[in-house]
């Protein structure tokens, strides 16, 4: 089984993010879900991002780092949208990371310096017409990552919804979200068994 650290998106730690973590726990994984907004959850993404900006994105990142440092280094880092920045940074720069799952966002590898670690498998998930993921360059960064990392997969889903995996939001797409969960569980099972190499 894997030990997993999940970072929530810009709305905050919603019940949908908690439910996702619960699905992973139900499969036997140890899952940590820090609340980087200190209990605040926002109805709209605009409000949530404004809160993150007011708090300070560096402060949010520092909270994510502190959450990771309280845990073993051998983590799989999972992030949703805004939370991808912390998940990707930690997976790429913190020694010992066992994997990363980047959902609905992806930064260029150069954002965090150097190359993607050869021994850290990664999955990226997003909708092919999401105005944020597909329209702001994240999918291009994901393709670059998949081309450069030895064990990387990009999964594109038909649709234009952002945060389609969160069951508590109007943007939820049950069919696509179920497929994401199935693929993430397969990824974690592979890591938990100590197997590497692309599983396509």
Could you report the per-residue pLDDT of 8-54, keeping only the tens digit for each?
999 999 999 999 999 999 999 999 999 999 999 999 999 999 999 99
Give the model's pLDDT for residue 164: 98
* Residue spans of beta strands (DSSP E) within 34-84: 76-80
The mean pLDDT of 143-148, rounded to a whole number, is: 93
Superfamily in which the 3-192 domain is placed by CATH: Alpha/Beta hydrolase fold, catalytic domain (3.40.50.1820)
- How many whole angstroms separate alpha carbon 98 and alpha carbon 199? 15
pLDDT band at 114; cut points 50, 70, 90: confident
pLDDT exceeds 80 at position 61:
yes
Residues 115-129: tens digit of each pLDDT: 899 999 999 999 999
SS3 13: coil
Q: Any idea what DSSP says for residue 9? A: B
pLDDT exceeds 50 at position 93:
yes
pLDDT band at 172; cut points 50, 70, 90: very high
- How many whole angstroms separate alpha carbon 104 and alpha carbon 136? 11
Torsion-angle region of 121 (φ positive above 0: left; ψ -120 to 50: alpha; else: beta): beta
Q: Where are the domains of the chain?
A: 3-192
- How many whole angstroms separate alpha carbon 91 and alpha carbon 151? 13
3-state secondary structure 88-152: HHHHHHCCCCCEEEEECCCCCHHHHCCCCCCCCCEEEEEECCCCCCCCCCHHHHHHHHHHHCCCE
Q: Mean pLDDT score of the chain, rounded to an integer?
A: 94
- Cβ distance 10 to 43 under 8 Å? no
> Rounded to a whole number, what is the distance in angstroms from the first to the last CA of the chain?
20
- How many whole angstroms separate alpha carbon 140 and alpha carbon 115? 16
The mean pLDDT of 97-106, rounded to a whole number, is: 97
């Amino acid at each position: 089984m894997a030990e997993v650290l999940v970072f929530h998106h810009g709305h905050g730690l919603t019940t949908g993010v908690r439910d996702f973590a619960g699905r992973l726990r139900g499969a036997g994984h140890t899952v940590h879900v820090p609340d980087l907004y200190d209990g605040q959850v926002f109805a709209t993404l605009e409000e949530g991002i404004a809160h993150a900006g007011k708090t300070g994105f560096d402060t949010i990142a520092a909270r994510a780092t502190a959450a990771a440092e309280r845990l073993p280094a051998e983590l799989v880092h999972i992030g949703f949208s805004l939370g991808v920045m912390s998940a990707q940074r930690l997976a790429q720069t913190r020694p010992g990371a066992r994997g990363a799952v980047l959902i609905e966002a992806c930064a260029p590898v150069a954002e965090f310096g150097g190359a993607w670690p050869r021994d850290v498998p990664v999955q990226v998930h997003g909708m092919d017409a999401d105005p944020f993921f597909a329209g702001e360059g994240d999918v291009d960064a994901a393709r670059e990552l998949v081309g450069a990392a030895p064990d990387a997969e990009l999964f594109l889903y038909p649709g234009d919804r952002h945060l389609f995996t969160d069951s508590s939001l109007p943007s939820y797409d049950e069919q696509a979200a179920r497929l994401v969960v199935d693929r993430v569980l397969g990824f974690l099972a592979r890591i938990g068994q100590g197997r590497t190499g692309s599983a396509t």
